[in-house]
Structure 1
Amino acid sequence: MKKLQLIFISLLLHFAINAQETIESNSPYTAPRYHYFVNTVLVFNEYLDTDNGSFNTTQLRVLYPIGSKAWNLRFDLPLISANTNSENKTGIGDVGAGISYIPYREKNKAFAFRTRVYANTASDSNFGSGKWVIMPAAFFSSYLKNKKLLWITSIEYQISFAGSSERSDVSIIAYENLLLYSFGKNWISGDFAFRYNSILKGFQNNVFLEFGRKITATNLIYIHPSTAFGNKKTYNYGIEAGLLILF
């Protein structure tokens, strides 16, 4: 398993370094909800129902393009509240940072690579994994039907590399497919994600629908309900609402 993990990460790094860059500003990553080429602040709130109670996450995310704007930095700061049968508590979750690289983009399709790292910063053991986790990923995006329909497919590998020895390791592979349809100032999208946890030896899948609207030239809002399925699912159902600020 360790050899497969190293091969997977090495391949992603190899393709990211050696891919040829085509500069094209009008690409799939300029579609509603995906603004890789402008500074973006995203604030969202997500409620999840679980068998042991509920979790509510309020998260601040900042996206910052650099260089030729083929590179993009990302920072995540979550504030989590847990409501269980025994107690209610609130605290900071695992803080994350990431970098994306888009080596090839044109008007109808694009490739991208991303690596995220989440630190073991949670103020409570229920608010984080107890581990440092790295998440390399690869994306392919393409417009369909005269740029009204956008397809994004991705594969991501999540693996822990440090942290508390008393907590379980993290080893999850996630494969997602998203379809986004835009019309006027609005969009609707659906996402189907398969996640296999090799530590728990089970699936932690989920699916969501999202409804969004551009309310001003630089502000967008969205809401999406989701449901989880699989023999090792982490929640039952959830709902997320967010605000994107472009500047």
Structure 2
Amino acid sequence: MKKFLPFFLLIFPFYNSLLAQDTINEQKESIYTEARYHYYLKTILLFNEYLDTETGSFNTTQLRFLHPIANKAWNLRVDLPLVSTNTSSINKTGIGDIGVGISYIPYLKHKKDGIAFRARIISNSAVDPALGSGKWVFAPAIFYGKYIKKDHILWIVSLENQMSFAGSDNRSDINLTAFENYFMFILGKNWIAADVAFKYNNTNKGYPNNAFVEFGRRITKNDMAYIHPSVAFGGHKTYNYGIEVGMLILF
């Protein structure tokens, strides 16, 4: 069942190593004697997310590429978004804000729990102001994950802060803290997940929270597909509802 886990690298950085450890375990059980050795796999994630907002819609088609580096306890991530907006006054499509991140796992115990850290830089690279934030953003995060109930349930808690440090003076600063709780239920080749993220926007003093449920299935040994509808709630929410569909390929 851990072969599902790399998919969730889009949210939590140490799932990919858990899958890879299962693969290595078939060849060398003693790999678990050293907790710092965590073997990532190369991963491509392609997904499309549609968001309904008060003024129209916002659609993002994104390619995410992950590659192990150093001693494979580290992982490099690159996000390439194609964004479309559709409102009464704006209808544009183009490259959005490109992001680069790195993840590190200082501790991971097989079939038990793990800790991970991630840092991302989201660039001010959108081809049009309507397609990006207009800011350079630094986003550090910490994660803790634990298997519950004989590996059938996985719980992840995370804390991330997004802070702008450069960019257009005409755009609002970004200072957002997100506390997220995620549960995944594994059912053979399928999974069901639920997530609630509580957020505080220190710029406008709002609470743009959101939640989603997710349904996924392993198609082949290295390919997985999923769909998840979401809803936003709280003051100053950034959208009303959304739906995301994606596919993940390991190689």
Q: Contact (CA 8 Å) 1:28, 1:141: kept in 2 or not?
A: no
Q: Which residue of 2 aligns with 1:157?
A: 161
Tell me the C-alpha RMSD between the 2 structures. 1.6
Correspondence for 1:117: 121
| Separation (CA, whole Å) in 2 of partners of 1:61 and 1:142 | 25
> Cα–Cα, structure 1 residues 97 and 29, in superposed 2: closer, same or farther, change >3 Å?
farther
TM-score, normalised with respect to structure 1: 0.87
Q: Does 1:39 align with 2:46?
A: no
> Which residue does the alignment assign to 2:82?
79
Alpha-carbon distance in 2 for matches of 1:86, 1:43: 29
Partner deviation per Cα, 1:126-163 (whole Å, 9 max, x = no partner): 21111100000000000000111000000001000111
Aligned partners of 1:44, 1:35: CA distance in 2, in Å?
17
Q: Does the 8 Å contact 1:28/1:109 carry over to 2?
A: no
CA distance in 2, matches of 1:92, 1:27: 34
Q: For residues 130-209 of structure 1, what are the structure 2 equivalents within 5 Å?
A: 130-209=134-213
| Residue of structure 2 aligned with 1:106, choices 101, 104, 109 | 109
Report the TM-score when normalising by structure 2: 0.85
Partners of 2:250 and 2:102 lie apart in 1 by 18
Distance 1:117 1:209 in 2: 27
**Percent identity of the aligned residues?**
58
Classify 1:209/1:191 alpha carbon distance in 2 versus 1 (closer, same or farther; 3 Å).
same
Does the 8 Å contact 1:27/1:109 carry over to 2?
Answer: no
In structure 1, the residue matched to 2:98 is 95
Match of 2:235 among 231, 234, 237: 231
- Structure 1 segments of 4 or more deviating over 3 A? 26-34
CA apart distance, 1:68? 2.7
Whole-angstrom CA distance in 1 between matches of 2:45 and 2:232: 23
Deviation at 1:87, TM superposition (A): 3.5
Between the aligned partners of 1:73 and 1:29, the Cα distance in structure 2 is 20
Among residues 112, 130, 144, which one is paired with 1:126 in the alignment?
130
Cα separation, 2, equivalents of 1:127 and 1:202: 22
Provide structure 1 residue ranges, at least 5 long, that are not aligned to the other structure.
Answer: 1-25
SS in 1 for 2:16: coil
Equivalent pairs, count: 222
Q: Structure 2: where are the runs of 5+ without partners?
A: 9-14, 18-39
- Spell out, residue by residue over 1:24-61, the C-alpha distance to the aligned partner (whole angstroms, 9 max, x if none): xx989946533242110000000000000001100000
